[in-house]
Amino acid sequence: MQKQKCVFLDRDGVLNRERGDYTYIIEDFEVIPGVPEALRLLKQHGFLLIVVTNQAGIAKGRYTKEDVLACHQKLQNSCDSLIDAIYMAPSHPSFSESLSRKPDSLMLERAIAKYNIDADASWLVGDSIRDLLAAAKVGVKAILVGPHEMGTYQNQVQDLFEATKLILDDKIG
C-alpha cells in the first residue's frame, strides 16, 4: 500500500476561533473564515486531513465527550465533511496521565499507523509550542499559526489559509 501524505490540524485557534476558554458549547463554536476553502485546497492536492486536539475539559469535568462530538459534527458540516479523522485526548496531567495529550505524540502515531502516513511528506498546523513538539516527535514538519510574536518560530503564519499556501508551495524544509 502506498504511503499517504497528511496535514494534521490542531482544533482551537486553527480551525475554530480561540476564545481563551474551553470551546464546547455548540453556539460558541465558530469556524474561522477561510478554513473550509483551505481544507478543500489541501484535499484537492491529495492530503489526508486529521484533527488532533487536546480536550482537557473532559477530564476536569467542565464538559462531556458528547459536547465535543457535537462541536466536531458542526465542524464537519461547515467544511463539507472534508476531515478524514478526528483524534482527541480527553486527559489532563492534574487528573489523568496520557501519552495522547500534546506535546506527546500518541494521537499522531496512531493516525500514522492506521492511515499509512508518510511523516516526511506530512505537516502539522498548530497554534502552540506543544503542537510543534508533538510534530517533531514523529518527524512531521510544522507550521505555527495565530497571533504570536512574529519571528518566534521559523514557519509562522497568521492562519490556516496562509499555512495551506506554504504547504502547497512546498516552501518548508
Question: Which set of grid coordinates corresponds to residue 113?
Answer: 499507523
CA-to-CA dists, residue 133 to 38, 66, 102, 107, 116, angstroms: 23, 28, 8, 13, 21
Question: What is the mean pLDDT of the segment spanning 90-95?
Answer: 64
Question: Which set of grid coordinates corresponds to residue 45?
Answer: 492536492
Question: What is the mean pLDDT of the segment spanning 89-117?
Answer: 83
Among 102, 98, 88, 97, residue whose Cα is nearest residue 138: 102
- Phi, psi at 17, each rounded to 5°: -60, 130
Check pLDDT > 50 for residue 173. no
Check pLDDT > 90 for residue 170. no
Q: Which of 37-41, 56-60, 120-124, 165-169 has the lowest mean pLDDT?
A: 56-60
Check pLDDT > 50 for residue 148. yes
Answer with the residue of higher pLDDT: 112 or 55: 112
Q: How confident is the model at residue 96 (pLDDT cuts 50, 70, 90)?
A: low
3-state DSSP call for residue 168? helix
pLDDT given for residue 101 in this prediction: 74
Check pLDDT > 90 for residue 111. yes
Q: Which of 12, 104, 131, 159 is catalytic?
A: 12
Q: How confident is the model at residue 93 (pLDDT cuts 50, 70, 90)?
A: low
Check if 12 is active-site.
yes
Q: Give the HSE-up count for residue 27: Cα atoms under 13 Å, Cβ half-sphere.
A: 0
Every domain of the chain and the residues it spans: 12-167
**DSSP structural state of residue 119:** G
**CA 65 and chain centroid, separation:** 18
Question: What is the CATH code for 12-167?
Answer: 3.40.50.1000
Most confident among 20-29, 71-80, 154-163 (mean pLDDT): 71-80
Percentage of the chain beyond pLDDT 90 is 69
| pTM of the model as a whole | 0.91
Check if 10 is active-site.
yes
